[in-house]
């Protein structure tokens, strides 16, 4: 195989020319299977650690949901969003309950 740019002979499996560095146009199989590359499967489930983060920090859950929706992972995004909304609702309910109990205690002296 010869480089389309410099014309020198290169290996058939080369992704870039060893001489000029120009890509050969051959796909990189290592990049597709790399651990750092996320799949675009819309049914990929949410990850447990991020679910815990969404429970304790609902704003982070909303951010995770948005990032997953943009990335095409609808199932994970939906899970993070629901978790964040439920967590926020529980937090608000507990805060209002504690506030009402404190006001009742302060006003009645009970």
- Where is pLDDT greater, at 37 or 96? 96
- Cβ atoms of 76 and 68 within 8 Å: the answer is yes
The torsion angles phi and psi of 17, rounded to 5 degrees, stand at: -70, 135
Residues 58 and 33 reside in one and the same domain:
no
User: What is the model's pLDDT at position 81?
Assistant: 92
Task: Name the band, by pLDDT with cuts 50, 70 and 90, for residue 42.
Answer: confident
- Percentage of the chain lying above the pLDDT 70 cut: 87
* Nearest alpha carbon to residue 17 among 30, 32, 4: 4
Residues 6+ apart with CB under 8 A from 108: none
Span 29-57, mean pLDDT?
71
Look up the domain containing 20 and give its range: 1-37
Tell me, yes or no, whether 33 and 74 share the same domain.
Answer: no
Residue 7 has pLDDT above 50, yes or no: yes
* Per-residue CA distances from 36 to 23, 24, 27, 50, 80 (Å): 22, 23, 17, 17, 21
Task: Answer yes or no: is pLDDT of 34 > 70.
Answer: no
In this predicted structure, what is the pLDDT of residue 35? 42
Domain total in the chain: 2
């Amino acid at each position: 195989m010869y480089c389309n740019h410099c014309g020198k002979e290169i290996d058939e499996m080369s992704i870039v020319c060893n001489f000029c560095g120009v890509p050969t146009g051959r796909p990189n199989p290592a990049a597709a299977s790399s651990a750092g590359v996320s799949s675009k499967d819309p049914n990929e489930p949410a990850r447990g650690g991020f679910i815990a983060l969404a429970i304790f920090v609902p704003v982070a859950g909303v951010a995770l949901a948005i990032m997953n929706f943009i990335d095409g992972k609808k199932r994970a995004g939906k899970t993070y969003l629901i978790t964040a909304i439920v967590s926020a609702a529980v937090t608000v309910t507990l805060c209002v309950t504690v506030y009402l109990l404190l006001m009742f205690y302060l006003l009645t002296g009970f």
